[in-house]
Amino acid sequence: MPQSPPSPHPSRSSSRAEGAAGLARELAPRGAFPAGRGGSLSSRIVAEIRDALFDKRLAPGDFLGTESDLATRFEVSRIVARDALRTLQALGIAEIRMGKGGGARVARGNTALFAEALAVQLELTGVSAEEIVDAQRAVECLAAELAAERATAAERARLTELLAVAERRIGDRAAYTRACRDFHIGIAESSHNRVLVVQLVSLQHVPWPKENRTLTPKVARHIHEVHRQLLALIEQRDSGGARRLMDEHVRMIRARRSAERDSKRSAGRDGRESADRDDRQRGTSDPRTPIEACC
Amino acid sequence: MPQSPPSPHPSRSSSRAEGAAGLARELAPRGAFPAGRGGSLSSRIVAEIRDALFDKRLAPGDFLGTESDLATRFEVSRIVARDALRTLQALGIAEIRMGKGGGARVARGNTALFAEALAVQLELTGVSAEEIVDAQRAVECLAAELAAERATAAERARLTELLAVAERRIGDRAAYTRACRDFHIGIAESSHNRVLVVQLVSLQHVPWPKENRTLTPKVARHIHEVHRQLLALIEQRDSGGARRLMDEHVRMIRARRSAERDSKRSAGRDGRESADRDDRQRGTSDPRTPIEACC
DNA sequence: CTCCCCGAAAAGATATCATCTTTAGTATCT
DNA sequence: AGATACTAAAGATGATATCTTTTCGGGGAG
């Protein structure tokens, strides 16, 4: 049944032909699992491809083959290859396209996907809002410190722009919260450390976007002032000062959140303002107050 | 140490019957996607279950059903249910068991799985060792600070024990590195912040364990002395001091790693370096210098 | 240049067999 | 009679084969 998998079009789509040709020797099942050491067939394919990635025999953008290709290459059925691709896709390793010229390719880094993975894990672990905000403090303090040391002129200009955008949003709670979050992420990006960016985005992804009730215009103006000072410290390359101010800033956010949570709890069920559509049967002592994206 | 907030042991069979019954009404496809808003059928099932998790209609340990159950409930074929379960499994949301009484259940938080997901993303993004160590600094500094504030007597005793174990391992590089890593993780656990623990474990999972050439007994004794001081500061509840010392400690680790990397490069024989076509970020730096678990 | 058609490939469905795992039940030994 | 060990059945995933449907891309006709 296998209908000539190799060498479809030697001339056109060079990247694809080249990638597929390379894979034929790079990705072939090495050692030919004799008495199958591990679990399922699909998990072996996943392990094989992941190892190839870590060994740099695969790089983002490389063509992995179609379902049929992989099935032929690993001598399994198409469903097994499909299972493996589903897993690789969920892990963010593979991107799959339908239709002619489609197939699986090694994905580029996908921050959003990873952020969701972290969110899931934190949810499953059942962490509290305080734990998340504290971790945010860890990440953002260092981000501010490094941004002060390393931000380029272009990045400083961008932060200035983000700050100006946020100022215009004061008054609109949702919009200001978003602008505020973008400013914080901009600082993380200016740190030239992508790990910090990923961690920060993840943590801000955990709490679903919600209304921020204590974010009055007065509070927003105070936050804006702090952000202005923060940017000034970064422009002065005062890494210690930026770090301290950010520390204080996030501590304040934490305190406001805790207060908000407590007031909500004590206020009880007076006005049915919570847009939660169903009262959770499980939630007697919900440890997880929904918190907002940034400020 | 706090693990699994609710649901200690749901006594299996009851949990299953009850869970399945509950799901019948909790997890049924709501709204009946008329003209399906997006994506494949399996991705809708995944989204449905993930949303149920974030909405707290599902909790770790809940029974999700067998492949056939899901196929029936969502009115799709078993293949689609299977695809969805593959994805949920890869995302760490579901655990799947074979055999009688098997099926899919909502997973407990799985740090190892998540750590690997982070490793994959960092690999795909192509981050440098420096970025990782810097992020480690962010996490560990706050961990030390919070540990000083919150560590219980039992946790302080455990740290003392871990330190003693490490001292006995001086001389054996691999064993000392492991013991050292355990001490650092112990500090993170003493912070009572599971997010920090997850982040730290993830970052230490990224670089695969390797030899640490500059970890001579002399260096190890110096590290041990720093650790001893760190523990003393934690026992004195000097959070600021603990944070500063940890900061300095990780900076030193970073410096040692960079020096190691540089010496390796200058002494290095060739390198099939240029084979990588996409020149990674930030100039030259060899993107993945193998770095060690902890010290 | 646009529209339509065709082919490649994933998405989905159905049927069937293989394998694993738990449970129950029986037989045997003490 | 009771405890242990072996065996069989049931329930579930794992895997294969063979289809139809949907989606995407490209090339050709108007």
Convert the pLDDT of each residue in B211-248 to its tens digit: 566 677 788 888 999 999 999 999 999 999 999 999 99
Beta bridge partners of B95: B105
Query: Are the Cβ atoms of A86 and B87 closer than 8 angstroms?
Result: yes
Burial status of residue A210 (CB atoms within 10 A of its CB: 0-12, 13-18, 19 or more): middle
Q: What's the pLDDT band for A4 if we cut at 50, 70, 90?
A: very low
CA-nearest residue to A137 within chain B is B142
Among the partner residues B86, B138, B194, nearest to A127 by beta-carbon distance: B194
Q: Is B100:A36 a contact under the CB 8 Å cutoff?
A: no
- Predicted confidence at residue A207, as pLDDT, reads 60
Higher pLDDT among residues B125 and B33, named by residue: B125
How many angstroms separate the CA of B101 from the C1' of C19?
15
Q: What percent of chain B has pLDDT over 90?
A: 45
Q: Is the pTM of this model over 0.85?
A: no
Nucleotide nearest to B78 (CA to C1'): C13
Q: What percent of chain A has pLDDT over 70?
A: 72
Report the C-alpha gap between B195 and A126 in whole angstroms. 10
In degrees, rounded to 5, the angle at the alpha carbon of residue B203 between the alpha carbons of residues B200 and B207 is 140
Query: Are the Cβ atoms of A131 and B194 closer than 8 angstroms?
Result: yes
Report the C-alpha gap between A186 and A155 in whole angstroms. 8
Average confidence (pLDDT) over A96-105: 89
The torsion angles phi and psi of A95, rounded to 5 degrees, stand at -115, 140
Q: How far is CA B39 from the centre of its chain?
A: 30
Q: What's the pLDDT band for A255 if we cut at 50, 70, 90?
A: confident
Q: List Cβ neighbours of A169 (8 Å cut-off, separation of 6 or more).
A: A175, A176, A178, A179
Distance from CA of B170 to the nearest CA of A (A): 31
Average confidence (pLDDT) over B90-105: 90
Distance from CA of B278 to the nearest CA of A (A): 9
Among the partner residues A118, A131, A138, nearest to B114 by beta-carbon distance: A118
Query: Are the Cβ atoms of B121 and A127 closer than 8 angstroms?
Result: no
The one-letter amino acid code at A175 reads A
Distance from CA of B163 to the nearest CA of A (A): 25
Query: Are the Cβ atoms of A86 and B141 closer than 8 angstroms?
Result: no
Residues shown for chain B: 295
State whether residue A2 is helix, strand or coil.
Answer: coil
Q: Which residues of B touch A127 (CB under 8 A)?
A: 194-195
Averaged pLDDT score across all residues of chain A: 77
Query: Are the Cβ atoms of B53 and A135 closer than 8 angstroms?
Result: no
- Predicted confidence at residue A89, as pLDDT, reads 92
pLDDT digits (tens, 9 = 90+) for A180-228: 899 999 999 999 999 999 889 888 876 654 556 667 778 888 899 999 9
From residue B206, alpha-carbon distances to A191, B122, B168, B197, B201 in Å are: 20, 8, 27, 14, 9
| A102 CB inside 7 Å of strand D | yes
Q: What percent of chain A has pLDDT over 90?
A: 43
Q: What's the pLDDT band for A2 if we cut at 50, 70, 90?
A: very low
Q: How far is CA B185 from the centre of its chain?
A: 11
Task: List, edge to edge, every strand of the sheet that includes B63-65.
Answer: B63-65, B103-106, B94-97
Q: Is the pLDDT of residue B90 over 70?
A: yes
Q: Is A235:A158 a contact under the CB 8 Å cutoff?
A: no
Q: Is the pLDDT of residue A133 over 60?
A: yes
The one-letter amino acid code at A276 reads D
State whether residue A284 is helix, strand or coil.
Answer: coil
Q: Is A188:A196 a contact under the CB 8 Å cutoff?
A: yes
Query: Of the ranges A9-18, A92-101, B26-35, which one carries the lowest mean pLDDT score?
Result: A9-18
In degrees, rounded to 5, the angle at the alpha carbon of residue B154 between the alpha carbons of residues B148 and B160 is 70
Task: List, edge to edge, every strand of the sheet that includes A94-97.
Answer: A63-65, A103-106, A94-97
| A27 CB inside 7 Å of strand D | no
Query: Are the Cβ atoms of A194 and B125 closer than 8 angstroms?
Result: yes
From first CA to last CA, the distance across chain A in angstroms is 60
- Tell me which nucleotides of strand D come within 7 A of a protein CB: 9-18, 22-26
Biggest CA-to-CA distance, chain A: 71
> 3-state SS string over B235-246?
HCCCHHHHHHHH
Biggest CA-to-CA distance, chain B: 70
Q: Which residues of B touch A132 (CB under 8 A)?
A: 195
- Predicted confidence at residue A54, as pLDDT, reads 84
In degrees, rounded to 5, the angle at the alpha carbon of residue A97 between the alpha carbons of residues A96 and A102 is 115
The one-letter amino acid code at A65 reads G
